[in-house]
């Protein structure tokens, strides 16, 4: 299996784990020193514990089933370094009753050590309207 195929398998496993709200499964391939640039709260999260807490908080907002899809996944990799980018899309009802239908941009950087790919960096972002300062979460292009 090529590096790109291995990474796609890892990303699709993570996508399925998030869909099931399986936090352990979703966190399975993160490096202990992972750095995450997320769309909410702090400028960065460092390490497994802070990334896990963020995932737990995010998934707890959905009391029922929800839709989570990784769209337009593009992967580039060598033998031991890889990165991918995608548009991620979530649709669901939040705990407070509000409906969410949101897309964001995601970039993931991976490193292969001892035959195993690990996520060492992830970056999520949304474009914003400079006139209003509001996030543009309904875009599909």
Between 128 and 50, residue with greater pLDDT:
50
What whole-number percentage of the chain has pLDDT above 70?
100
| Mean pLDDT across 116-125 | 97
* Distance of alpha carbon 47 from alpha carbon 49, whole angstroms: 6
pTM: 0.93
Domains of the chain: 3-125 (3.10.450.50)
What pLDDT sits at residue 41?
84
Is residue 44 classed as helix, strand or coil in its secondary structure? coil
Exposure string (b/e) for 46-74, b if CB count within 10 Å is 16 or more? eeeebbbebbeeebeebeeebebebeebe
């Amino acid at each position: 299996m090529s590096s790109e195929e291995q990474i796609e398998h890892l990303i699709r496993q993570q996508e399925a784990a998030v869909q099931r709200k399986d936090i352990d499964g979703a966190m399975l391939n993160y490096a202990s020193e992972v750095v995450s640039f997320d769309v909410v709260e702090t400028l960065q999260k460092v390490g497994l514990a802070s990334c896990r807490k963020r995932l737990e908080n995010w998934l707890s907002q959905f009391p029922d089933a929800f839709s989570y899809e990784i769209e337009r996944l593009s992967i580039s990799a060598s033998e031991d370094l890889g990165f991918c980018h995608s548009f991620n899309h979530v649709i669901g009802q939040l705990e407070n009753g509000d409906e969410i239908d949101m897309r964001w941009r995601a970039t993931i950087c991976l490193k292969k050590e001892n035959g195993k790919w690990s996520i060492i960096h992830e970056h999520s972002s949304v474009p914003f309207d400079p006139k209003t300062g509001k996030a543009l979460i309904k875009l599909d292009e």
